[in-house]
Amino acid sequence: MTQVERFIPIISTVPNHIFTKNAMTYFFQNLQATRINHYRLQVCVILLFFIASPALFSDVYRIKKGDTLLIAVVGQPEYTHSVQVREDGKFNYFGGEFDAAGATVTTVNHLIREFLVRDNHVSNPVVMVSLVSQENGVFVGGAVNTPGRYPISPETDIDLYRALALAGGMAENADRQGVQLIRTDPTQNVETHDLSTNRPYKNIRVNVNDLVFVMPLSVIEVQGQVQTPGKLFVRSEIGIKQALARAGGPTQEADLTAVVKVEKNGKLSEFNLSEQFWKSSPNGEFAPSLSDGDVLFVPNVFKVEPIYVTGYVRAPGAQRVRGPLNIAQAVALAGGFETSANREEVIIHRRDGTTVEIAFTSETPNGEAQQQVLLYPGDVLEIKKKFQVNWGLVSTLAYIAISGIGIIIQLTK
């Protein structure tokens, strides 16, 4: 009896429906149980390539964002793992990060093999990489760290907490009291669950193809002369009175007569908040509110602080203001850009020591208006010089190169 004939009984035990996306896992289990020798292992690998149709046509298909890959190492079940290609086109596997978008499955196969050998995981691995069908899975979206569709088998029994863990957990602005579970079974029920940290564990089962959506909270900033400046997470809107209260209230140096509200689109509004502001207003005449993306700034009553604009502007220096400015306003106060200024990217040095480099544009790549980046008193806006080709130096180097080539030709003759 040949080695292939001895292997046929193993194949015959596989049910017909197994020859799909689960065929690879089934064979790995049989390989581990039968402990076949090295020659049988080679035969098995060849047959696995034929039954793993996604891998068979890997040179045709290019991996896309959101694809799920099954990575398996023959004889090393602990290295068998499914990964999903993130929005940046990369995925993680045992501490390594791999760029997969646009690559073939064969290319990823080589990358995984080189990684396992290089990092001394497996000396001579037989790596199998194949695409996993997205038909069975759970979609997790909303305020989570890595939203997307995560494959699970129909036999997998997971709860709502594990489904959220697959998506990297809840984001900073997640409304833990508004986690929605949308059933895709005939009932089409929409369940809302409270997963606050002070709540006891709930055994909420998630079925195949269900949708989990975490409602996001509105993000509002309170800056300036308040006790605890920073972000506030609220539902819908919040009044200025409540926002100041949640920020610990104003400090003794706060100027409540010139409180500035900066809307998400960059519009500035100034309010004169007298002592009456802290008292109740039965007629509701004074009720300004803050919504998602708005910033509330409380200036200092004793001093006008500067915002510094340096670099390639016509009048660099300190610009004394009583509140925040957007980048365009700060550049305008500094006389505008010089001819040689880089108008595409600017650098902001924050008062707390952090530095950020951002694009000087009011629109996102999709053509939508993006939230304005604000400069606060004490911040420094640096305008760099744009890249310019020194044609004089280029012509000099070209002349030297041509002369050198001419001399080499003469010497060879």
pLDDT surpasses 70 at 280: no
Quick one: pLDDT band at residue 34, thresholds 50, 70, 90? Answer: very low
Choose between 331 and 370: higher pLDDT: 331
Mean pLDDT of 285-303: 79
40 assigned to some structural domain = yes
pLDDT surpasses 80 at 379: yes
Q: How far apart are CA 392 and CA 395, in angstroms?
A: 5
List CB contacts of 110: < 8 A, sequence separation 6 or more. Answer: none
Q: How far apart are CA 128 and CA 218, in angstroms?
A: 45
What percentage of residues in the chain have a pLDDT greater than 70?
Answer: 75
**Are 105 and 155 members of one domain?**
no
Mean pLDDT of 297-324: 81
**Are 154 and 266 members of one domain?**
no
Q: How many CA atoms does the CB half-sphere of 269 hold within 13 Å?
A: 13
Q: Mean pLDDT in the chain?
A: 76
Number of domains present in the structure of the chain: 4
Choose between 26 and 181: higher pLDDT: 181
pLDDT surpasses 50 at 369: no
Mean pLDDT of 223-244: 88
Mean pLDDT of 368-388: 76
Q: Which of 86-95, 100-109, 180-189, 289-298 has the lowest mean pLDDT?
A: 180-189
Host domain of residue 190:
137-216
pLDDT surpasses 50 at 2: no
Quick one: pLDDT band at residue 353, thresholds 50, 70, 90? Answer: confident
Phi, psi of 51 (to 5 degrees): -85, -20
Q: Residue 3: its pLDDT value, please? A: 42
Instruction: State which amino acid sits at residue 242.
Output: Q
Distance of CA 27 to the CA centre of its chain: 36
Pairing of strands 380-383, 345-349: antiparallel
CATH number at residue 9: 3.30.1950.10
pLDDT surpasses 70 at 277: no
Domain boundary, last residue among 216, 246, 265:
216
- What does the pLDDT look like over 159-198, one tens digit per residue? 899 889 888 899 999 999 989 888 877 777 888 899 988 8
Nearest one of 380, 320, 316, 318 to 350, comparing CA atoms: 380
**Which of 14-28, 78-92, 318-332 is modeled with the greatest confidence?**
78-92
CATH number at residue 331: 3.10.560.10
* SS3 readout for 251-264: CCCECCCCEEEECC
Q: Residue 74: its pLDDT value, please? A: 72
List CB contacts of 395: < 8 A, sequence separation 6 or more. Answer: none
**Are 60 and 98 members of one domain?**
yes
**Are 109 and 15 members of one domain?**
yes
Instruction: State which amino acid sits at residue 67.
Output: D
Q: What's the pTM value of the predicted model, to 2 decimals?
A: 0.50
pLDDT surpasses 60 at 350: yes
Mean pLDDT of 256-280: 72
Q: Which segments within 184-224 are labelled E, that is strand?
A: 190-193, 205-206, 211-216, 218-224
Q: How far apart are CA 84 and CA 138, in angstroms?
A: 13
Mean pLDDT of 75-88: 81
> Is 129:69 a contact under the CB 8 Å cutoff?
yes
List CB contacts of 292: < 8 A, sequence separation 6 or more. Answer: 218, 219, 220, 264
411 assigned to some structural domain = no
Domain boundary, last residue among 266, 298, 330:
298
**Are 7 and 61 members of one domain?**
yes
> Is 204:182 a contact under the CB 8 Å cutoff?
no
**Are 122 and 11 members of one domain?**
yes
- What does the pLDDT look like over 56-69, one tens digit per residue? 444 467 888 878 88
Quick one: pLDDT band at residue 135, thresholds 50, 70, 90? Answer: low
pLDDT surpasses 80 at 10: no
Q: Is the dihedral of CA 133, 13, 155, 24 positive or negative?
A: negative
**Are 287 and 349 members of one domain?**
no
Q: Residue 170: its pLDDT value, please? A: 92
**Are 199 and 225 members of one domain?**
no
**Are 51 and 116 members of one domain?**
yes
Q: Residue 388: its pLDDT value, please? A: 67
Choose between 329 and 52: higher pLDDT: 329
List CB contacts of 210: < 8 A, sequence separation 6 or more. Answer: 138, 139, 163, 181, 182, 183, 184
Q: Residue 37: its pLDDT value, please? A: 52
**Are 279 and 368 members of one domain?**
no
**Are 256 and 350 members of one domain?**
no
**Are 190 and 240 members of one domain?**
no
Quick one: pLDDT band at residue 40, thresholds 50, 70, 90? Answer: low
Domain boundary, last residue among 165, 191, 216:
216
Quick one: pLDDT band at residue 274, thresholds 50, 70, 90? Answer: low
Q: Residue 21: its pLDDT value, please? A: 43
